[in-house]
């Protein structure tokens, strides 16, 4: 069974929250796979990870790059894990069986979008029923994360 963290974004956009989580992933000595549901988001996210901070960038690759095994972060729309990531970041709707083989899943969703919230609740119910270790993270008024029980 896997550790699954649901991250309800209420103060920060995905463009701010995701790079921070990926940076923490690398600091922990882990590899990250970012799985998107739409091809159009892939190039936008690719650009973001190079430019999200004036003083830093996140080493990563995607299907347009070669040598996936050398990239500590991989962005994809496919059911793949070519860089052998331990952590997976899900940004769109997914099926629980897509999480097989990962140590940890980060389910990031827009907490201000009622459809996204309802979809996350459904995923929570399914994953809980499968016996996964679930954690729910929400942002405080100042944008910091806290775990709700």
Q: Looking at residues 87-95, what average pLDDT do you find? A: 90
For residue 40, what pLDDT is reported? 67
Residues in the chain: 149
pLDDT for residue 39:
63
Alpha-carbon distance of 141 to 144, in angstroms, equals: 8
> Average pLDDT in the 73-90 region?
93
> What is the spatial distance between Cα 78 and Cα 80, in angstroms, rounded to a whole number?
6
Angstrom distance (rounded) from CA 139 to CA 52: 20
Nearest C-alpha neighbor of 127 from the set 106, 97, 149, 147: 97
Q: Is the pLDDT of residue 84 over 90?
A: yes
Whole-model pTM: value is: 0.91
- State the distance between the two ends of the chain, measured CA to CA, in whole angstroms: 19
Give 130-139 pLDDT, tens digit per residue.
999 999 999 8
With a cut of 70, say whether residue 38 has pLDDT above it. Answer: no
Measured distance CA(49)–CA(36) in Å, rounded:
14
| Residue 31 CB-half CA count within 13 A | 19
Going by the DSSP 8-state scheme, the letter that residue 100 receives in this structure is T
Sheet holding 32-35, edge to edge: 61-62, 73-76, 32-35, 87-90, 104-110, 3-9, 133-139, 145-148
Which residue in this structure is represented by tokens 């459809």? 115
At residue 37, the pLDDT reads 81
């Amino acid at each position: 069974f896997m550790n699954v963290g649901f991250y309800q974004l209420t103060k920060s956009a995905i463009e701010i929250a995701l790079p921070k989580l990926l940076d923490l992933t690398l600091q922990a000595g882990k590899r990250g796979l970012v799985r998107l549901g739409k091809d159009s988001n892939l190039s936008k996210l690719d650009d973001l990870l190079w430019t999200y901070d004036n003083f830093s960038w996140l080493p990563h690759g995607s299907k347009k790059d070669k040598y996936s095994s050398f990239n500590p972060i991989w962005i994809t729309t496919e059911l793949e894990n070519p860089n052998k990531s331990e952590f997976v970041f899900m940004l769109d709707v997914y099926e629980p069986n897509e999480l097989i083989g990962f140590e940890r899943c980060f389910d990031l969703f827009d907490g201000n979008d009622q459809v996204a919230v309802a979809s996350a609740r459904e995923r929570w119910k399914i994953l809980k029923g499968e016996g996964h270790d679930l954690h729910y993270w929400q942002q405080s008024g100042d944008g910091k994360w806290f775990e709700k029980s």
